[in-house]
Structure 1
């Protein structure tokens, strides 16, 4: 193929748009919203890393406001899926913990997620799946300097939709989710790594 950079960019945006239209979330159990599902998964991931989970950590994972996370946590607590406790080391801080029901829910969510990923990799076939994973690993190492350059070229707000065919490479890399790549947390800069 001898596609020009502009043609490759157009194809990338077209494919990302088709993926967004076709993407189907696993059905949430009755009475659980998708934001609540995401929050449970984020708490599980952070707890699995041995961290004391605070609402601010969850907000960073989901690029959400602290007040939105607070409302979700209140709802999850009422449903018996999480508990909130004063931090033993800092009485002003509150930590979030999954209950047994919350852990069971998270385990089922991970199982569904893994089945979906396995389905994607099977659909791609072994050779394309290997290339896909290699490319994703390479994108994960995309230089921070490119993200800064993208911000300077107009991709400045983490939640702004990626618009226009002249978006920078960092914006194009984040196009699959419709956000600038700069919205991704960077562990090297003190960000929170999320599932």
Structure 2
């Protein structure tokens, strides 16, 4: 992309600066952003199913392949953040749940994420924050329809 000062070029540069912010990594957490997303996903799943989620369910929710989730769950299990349990109703099924340590990390990440976005709203103001939400929603709509390019 040429650096011609056009609106599309400036928009591209803004997106690249935003990408480099790595705001999730600024949380001083023991986990990568992808690990935090996994923990949040498992926690949400536990809210609807106390016994936990199957790898395939996590894969579907995160929109990543099951082998990727399996590898990530193994890493989080080694850190003591999640545990695998055999399903009580079907012994062939393995379910993934958060441990107490995983719950604690998830709660800390939730608080820090909320604080970050609250600070952003305070910095931008309510009106600009609402406008940003509207624009981001429009970007999502545009991205969903790949035929627009």
Q: Which has the higher helix share?
A: 2
Partner Cα separation in structure 2 for residue 79 and residue 21 of structure 1: 27
Aligned-pair CA distance for 1:28: 2.4
Moved over 6 A (4+): none
Q: 1:22 to 1:99 in 2, by over 3 A?
A: closer
2:125 pairs with 1:114: no
Matched ranges for 1:31-46 at <5 A: 32-46=31-45
Q: Secondary structure at the match of 2:84?
A: strand
Q: CA RMSD in A?
A: 2.7
Give the paired residue count: 140
Query: Which structure carries more relative contact order (alpha carbon 8 Å, separation 6+)?
Result: 1
Aligned-pair CA distance for 1:38: 2.7
TM-score (normalizing by structure 2): 0.75
2:91 pairs with 1:91: yes
Partner Cα separation in structure 2 for residue 43 and residue 103 of structure 1: 10
Partner Cα separation in structure 2 for residue 33 and residue 23 of structure 1: 11
- Partner residue in 1 for 2:78: 78
Give structure 1 stretches of 5+ with no counterpart. Answer: 1-6, 154-166, 169-195
Give structure 2 stretches of 5+ with no counterpart. Answer: 1-5
2:9 pairs with 1:14: no
**Conserved? CA contact 1:42–1:58, under 8 Å:** yes
TM-score (normalizing by structure 1): 0.59
**Conserved? CA contact 2:29–2:109, under 8 Å:** no
Partner Cα separation in structure 2 for residue 56 and residue 9 of structure 1: 39
Aligned-pair CA distance for 1:137: 4.8
